[in-house]
Amino acid sequence: MYVLFETPAGFALFKVLKEGKLKDVASLYKDFTSADKAEKIVKLKAFMKFKDTKDAMKSVEKLIKGEMSKGLHKFLEKNIV
């Protein structure tokens, strides 16, 4: 399982190492209180940096509409086999 996380700098794709930990959503935050704890749950697989502010805004607008930008689509195709 993978988790896509949007940041102001770009998109981060994480591979989930312990899927069972994601089932208890109410206490999930406890596993991310430190980098060491988070490292045991997820691993950064890839990061796609936005080219500029305009690119970031376009990507966010597409996501709000429930669509995927071309850049995000290519990023996911490349990194999820």
**Pairwise CA distance, residues 73 & 52, whole Å:** 18
The pLDDT, as a whole number, for residue 25 is: 81
Write out pLDDT tens, residues 50-67. 999 999 999 999 999 999
Average per-residue pLDDT for the chain: 91
The pLDDT, as a whole number, for residue 19 is: 84
**Pairwise CA distance, residues 13 & 74, whole Å:** 13
Size (the chain), residues? 81
The more confident residue out of 54 and 25 is 54
Q: Which tokens hold the place of 54?
A: 């305009």
Apex CA 79: angle with CA 74 and CA 81, to 5°? Answer: 105
Provide the pLDDT confidence category of residue 15 given band limits of 50, 70 and 90. very high
- Listed by start position, the domains of the chain span 2-79
